[in-house]
Amino acid sequence: MRQHSTFSRRRLLGTGLAAAAGLPFIGCANLGGGPSIGRVVIVGGGFGGATAARYLRLWGSNVDVTLVERNGSFVSCPISNLVLGGHKQMSDITMSYAGLEAVGVKRVQGDVTAIDPQAKEVRLADGRKLPYDRLVLSPGIDFMFDQVGGLGTPAAQEKVLHSWKAGPQTVALRRQLEAMPDGGVYALTIPKAPYRCPPGPYERACMVASYFKQFKPRSKVLVLDANPEITSKKGLFEKAFADHYKGIVEYRPNNELKSVDAATNTAKLEFDDVKADVLNVVPPQRAGDIARTSGLLNMNNRWAGVNWLTMESTAVPGIHVLGDATFSAPLMPKSGHMANQHAKVAAAAIIQILQGQPVNATPVVMNTCYSFVTARDVIHVASVHQYDIAEKILKTVPGSGGLSPAANQVEGRNALSWAQNIWADMLAT
């Protein structure tokens, strides 16, 4: 172990200098603050991973940070439902990683195939190996396609879309909606909680309905929810369905999807079959594959347990897990905003750990989630979570947080401002 750490530290100093020499904005990147205090590899460039990269550089200018992400640019899930509704374009939610590179983050585009926590090394599909002192894993979610019969093949998955990761599937679902004739049925299935972005499906129903209302008014949005009721902002979404989309949106609780027939766009429920023109299945989810193959999923074999002081895995030391992949604390949503907050707790802790200093004993995170119910009217839910020393968990503060009293356009502007600011915060644009 001792030899390993000496070896990685030497590698780290060497590559750190090499990276610095290649940086165009060396003066701005603050790499002149002295030799690296440690090498951090981050896997996943979403809300969690990108924020971790940015804040490790912001707060620890002498930390050597490498961000591994398979995609060449960032596509935001928040606001992507507006693309489905035709109110925003893909270019509005697609951003480059250049800002992070400009602050000294070394970006590696590739697929991580394995993590070796003994050798402290990340292995990529192309054979590259990245040694680390601390690893940050922000893998998001992957889908449990095996839980939905008939959805196991690539052909079925290309036809029955999830669009629950923003990107090509967002574009493809929008095309299906555009191609659907007026008078058609768009069916959206929602898995049992927990899943990524609790209010997201209901916002999607509103956005697709807003498109139908304007361009295909005889069409229907059928929401088939495995949950017994709307899982987030219930009264506000019910009011939106009634006020804006009466006769368009039909909501059915306790309708768990069992299987699909992709050829006929049929959703097979417990007592009922529903044939749709566009079938959009949000499958059950668990932490991203790399967290599973790395042995991190110690909670229900689905999520990664973490120490809330540091976001370090409770299964494998030296690996910090962020965002949707974690086993959420009570009332903590799986959201991009929360992943950003996790990342700041982790970044602060990692810098302390690399310096041999105690970590913050009282971390705080908060969540703000805006949902569009029309192209302009927005509702929110907010919460603040403080660390409880006795229970060793982040807990919501009694009396804090809450919902919008009603959908409104002021929050419509605030929601877009939120997106602009969180994207800038995580991508250092």
Site string for other proteins, 253-292 (x = CB under 8 A): ----------------------------------------
Among 365, 373, 394, 407, binds other proteins (CB under 8 A): 365
249/187 Cα distance (integer angstroms): 10
What number of H helices and E strands is found in the chain? 13, 25
Among 203, 324, 377, 411, binds other proteins (CB under 8 A): 411
Hey, which residues does 94 pair with through a beta bridge? 75
| Minimum distance from residue 386 beta carbon to other proteins (Å) | 7
For residue 124, give every residue at least 6 positions away whose Cβ sits within 8 Å of its Cβ, in sequence order, or none.
68, 108, 110, 111, 112, 113, 130
Please give the size of the binding site for other proteins, defined by CB under 8 A. 55
Structure-token pair, residue 202: 């209901």
The b/e string for 276-292 (b: 16+ C-beta within 10 A; e otherwise) is: bbbbbbbbbbbbbebbb
| Minimum distance from residue 420 beta carbon to other proteins (Å) | 5
Residue in the block written with tokens 């999807």: 257
Which stretch in 22-30, 183-191, 254-262, 334-342 sits in contact with other proteins by CB under 8 A? Answer: 334-342
Which stretch in 114-122, 147-155, 167-175, 350-358 sits in contact with other proteins by CB under 8 A? Answer: 350-358
The reply to whether 4 sits near other proteins by the rule CB under 8 A is no
The reply to whether 28 sits near other proteins by the rule CB under 8 A is no
Structure-token pair, residue 248: 């368009």
Q: Residue count of the chain, please give it.
A: 429
| Minimum distance from residue 193 beta carbon to other proteins (Å) | 22
The reply to whether 27 sits near other proteins by the rule CB under 8 A is no
Among 368, 372, 377, 407, binds other proteins (CB under 8 A): 368
Among 176, 227, 285, 404, binds other proteins (CB under 8 A): 404
Residue 297 vs 422, nearer CB to other proteins: 422
Instruction: List helix spans (H) across 96-192.
Output: 98-102, 154-159, 168-179
Q: Which residues ranging from 55 to 94 are in contact with other proteins (CB under 8 A)?
A: 55, 58-59
294/145 Cα distance (integer angstroms): 20
Among 119, 144, 299, 364, binds other proteins (CB under 8 A): 364
Residue 51 vs 231, nearer CB to other proteins: 51
Say which DSSP state 214 is in.
Answer: H
The reply to whether 307 sits near other proteins by the rule CB under 8 A is no
Residue 176 vs 383, nearer CB to other proteins: 383
The reply to whether 357 sits near other proteins by the rule CB under 8 A is yes
Please provide the DSSP assignment of 314-350 as one string: SSSTTEEE-GGGB-PPTT----HHHHHHHHHHHHHHH
Structure-token pair, residue 4: 């390993």
| Minimum distance from residue 38 beta carbon to other proteins (Å) | 11
Which stretch in 14-22, 193-201, 215-223, 381-389 sits in contact with other proteins by CB under 8 A? Answer: 381-389
CA 309 to chain centre: 21
Element at 6 (helix H, strand E): helix 2-22
Q: In what order do the strands lie in the sheet with 38-43?
A: 106-109, 63-69, 38-43, 134-137, 319-321, 312-313, 306-307
Residue 298 vs 414, nearer CB to other proteins: 414
Torsions phi, psi for 149 (to 5 deg): -60, 140
The reply to whether 300 sits near other proteins by the rule CB under 8 A is no
The reply to whether 418 sits near other proteins by the rule CB under 8 A is yes
Residue 73 vs 408, nearer CB to other proteins: 408
Residue 321 vs 379, nearer CB to other proteins: 379
Residue in the block written with tokens 């590559």: 15
Among 344, 350, 371, 374, binds other proteins (CB under 8 A): 344
The reply to whether 6 sits near other proteins by the rule CB under 8 A is yes
93/91 Cα distance (integer angstroms): 6
For residue 65, give every residue at least 6 positions away whose Cβ sits within 8 Å of its Cβ, in sequence order, or none.
40, 42, 53, 56, 57, 104, 105, 106
| Minimum distance from residue 380 beta carbon to other proteins (Å) | 6
Binding site for other proteins (CB under 8 A): 6, 9-10, 33-35, 37, 54-55, 58-59, 337, 340-341, 344-345, 348, 352, 355, 357-358, 360, 362-366, 368, 380, 382-386, 396-397, 399-402, 404, 408, 410-411, 413-414, 416-418, 420-422, 424-425, 428
